[in-house]
Chain A
C-alpha cells in the first residue's frame, strides 16, 4: 500500500482574543496605524448594524440579518479587494458591501423591500445580495470564467457561510473553479450556526477549509475575529488568483453573536453562556486593545470616530426614510429589456388598480 494523498490545513492567527500579538505580523501590519482604516470600517459597520436592527424593531425595514461578531471577516475581505474585482455575497455581508461602495441607504432600501437597493451606484458589477444558499458560488464561477477568457486582472470573491458548504451548488462551484483554475477566492464565514444547526451537525469534515482539497486547490483556515489574519489570507489569495494561480478557499472562523435574523430567537437553541463566552473573543474590542496598546489609538480618537460613524449612519437612515416608496411600475419596468406585448395588459391593470387605491 502506498499513500495516494495527505493533507494539512493551516490555521492563521496573529492577534489573540485579547489583542496580543502571537505570531510575526505580516508586512502590511507592521505599522499599527495601517490597521486604523480597518478598525474604522469595523466600527462603522457595527453601528450601521445596530441601526438596521433598530429600524426593523420600529417597522421601518423588514426582516434583517445582523453581522454582529463578524466585522473582522468583512473588513479583512473588503479592504483587500480591488475596485474592479467582483463581490458575491450572502445576506450577511453588508459590511463588505459598504466597503465596496454600496451606500448604507441602498442597503436599507433592500431590507426595506425596494429593488432600487440593488441598483448599486458604486460597484456596478458586484452581484446583489443572494438569499438562496450557495447559488452565488456558481455565479462567481461564471464571472471568473469571463474574466479569465478576457485575460483581465480581476478576481471574483465569493462569500458564503458554513451552511452553504453542504449545498450542491457549493461543491459544483469549487469543483469547476479548481478544474479550470479560475480567478476566484471562496471565503467561507464559519460563524458556527446555520440558523439553529450548529457547525458540527453540518458536516463531518474536520474543517471547512479542507473541502477545497476535494476540488483540487488550497484551503486555509483563519481566526475570523483577527482582522490581520483575515486580511493577510485575502491578500495572498487575491494575488494568487490575479496572477493565474487559481482559486483559494479561506475558512474564517468566527461566531454569530446575534440571532439568525430579527425574527429569530437564538435562545431557543443555544445557551446564553455560549454566547457570553463568544463575546470575549469579539473582533472590534480585540483590535482596539491592540491599537491602544500600540499607542495608535485613544479615547479621544474613539469618541471622534463614534461621533462620525453615528452621523454617517443617521444620515443614511434618514436618507432611506426620506425616499419615496417605489413606483408600482417597478414590477414591470425591468422585467425584460423591453416588456413583451403580451404583458402590457397586466401592467396596465395593475397600474390602474394602484392609481385607484391611492385616490
Chain B
C-alpha cells in the first residue's frame, strides 16, 4: 500500500476540514484526478491524486479534520522504495561483481638489504649487485657496502665507457639478452689455394655461395612479431678492430660485385673505418657478419650475433696441421671456421649446410 499524506497546503496552514470526498475505496483514479475537497482557513481546495491507481482506503469522513502530513488516502500496490536505513543514505548500486582469483606473482629474487644500507650504497655510489653479502640469509650489511667501497677506492675510479666502446657494451647486452646463440665449427682445407690468394676475398666468395645454398642465414629476424625476412642482397658486415674499439662497417651487395672491385673497396673501407671516416649509414643494416679474428689470434670462436641479423661467420688463424689424405698423414694449411647463428630463426641443419657450402667453396683451389 502507498499512503498518500495530506500535502503542504501553503502559507503554513496545518490542517483543513474535509468537505466532500470525490472518490471511494475501490475506485481507479487517474493522475491529478480530484480526490477530496477540503476547507482551510482561507478557501476550499481540491486535493488531486498524486498518481494513478486504485484506492484502498480513505482516512477521515466529511467534517473530519485532515492534518498536513497525516495519512489521507491509501493506494494499492506501490513497491515503496525501502531506503534500508534510518540515517543518511546507503547507496544502491547495480553492478555485479565476480572476483577472479588473484594470479600468483612470481617470487622476486632480489637483493636483500635494509633501507639504511641501500641509502648508504647510493651515497657511496656502490652497485649492490657487486657487493658480496655476509649477513644471514644473503643480507647485505652496511659493513659489506663499506668494504666494497674501500676495494673500489683502492682499485681506482671507474672509466666510464664512451663512444664506440659504450655502443659495443650496449649492443652486446641487448644481443646477449635476446639471441639464442648456437655455434658450429669446422675446418676448411685450403691447401689447394695458389700463392697470394686473398683470404678475405675467398671468405666473402664462399659466404655468398653459402647464402645462396642456405638463404635462411642471410635474413633479419623480428622477435616482437616472430617473423623473418629472407634477404636477396648480401650486405656483409665486416668486424674491424680499431684503436677506438670494434666497428662493423658494411660492404653492400657483395653478391654482385667483381672480385677486383671488392678488393679495393674492402681495403678502402677498412682504412676509412680506422680513420673514422665511414658515414653512419654504412655502419648499419648488414644482413650477415664476418669476423676474421684469426688475423690476430684464435682458432674457433662463438662471436655474438647482432640482431636483427641471424648469423656471424668467424674465420680463425690459418695453420698447418696434419690431416689424413688417402688415409696417410699430410701437412696441409687449414682455415678454422666458426658459424654462430640465432637458433630462433635458423635450424642446425640450415647452419650445417651453410657451413658445408662455405667449406666446399673454400676448399676449391
Contacts and interface: CB of A to CB of B under 8 A. Distances in A.
Contacts of A46: 14
B268 to A, nearest CB: 66
Counting contact residues on chain B (CB < 8 A from A), the size range is 20 to 34
B71 A276 contact: yes
A277 to B, nearest CB: 9
A309 interface: yes
Given A276-B59, A302-B41, A285 B11 contact: no
Nearest to B71: A272
B88 A63 contact: yes
B41 A261 contact: no
Contacts of B86: 63, 195, 260-261, 263-264
Main SS of the interface on chain A? Answer: helix
A210 to B, nearest CB: 29
Given A46-B14, A284-B14, A279 B67 contact: yes
A194 B30 CA distance: 37
Interface in B1-49: 1, 3, 8, 11-15, 41-42
Nearest to B83: A263
A272 B59 CA distance: 9
B77 interface: no
B164 interface: no
Interface string B56-76: 000110000101111100100
Contact of A68 (B1, B59, B69, B88): B69
Interface string A288-310: 00000000000100110011011
A272 B86 CA distance: 19
A62 B169 CA distance: 68
B61 to A, nearest CB: 11
B63 to A, nearest CB: 13
A258 interface: yes
Given A264-B83, A265-B82, 9 more contacts: A261-B87, A263-B86, A265-B83, A267-B3, A268-B82, A282-B67, A285-B14, A303-B42, A309-B12
24 contacts: A43-B12, A46-B14, A50-B8, A50-B12, A63-B88, A261-B87, A263-B85, A263-B86, A264-B83, A264-B86, A265-B80, A265-B83, A267-B1, A267-B3, A272-B1, A276-B60, A276-B71, A279-B67, A284-B14, A285-B15, A303-B41, A307-B12, A309-B12, A310-B12
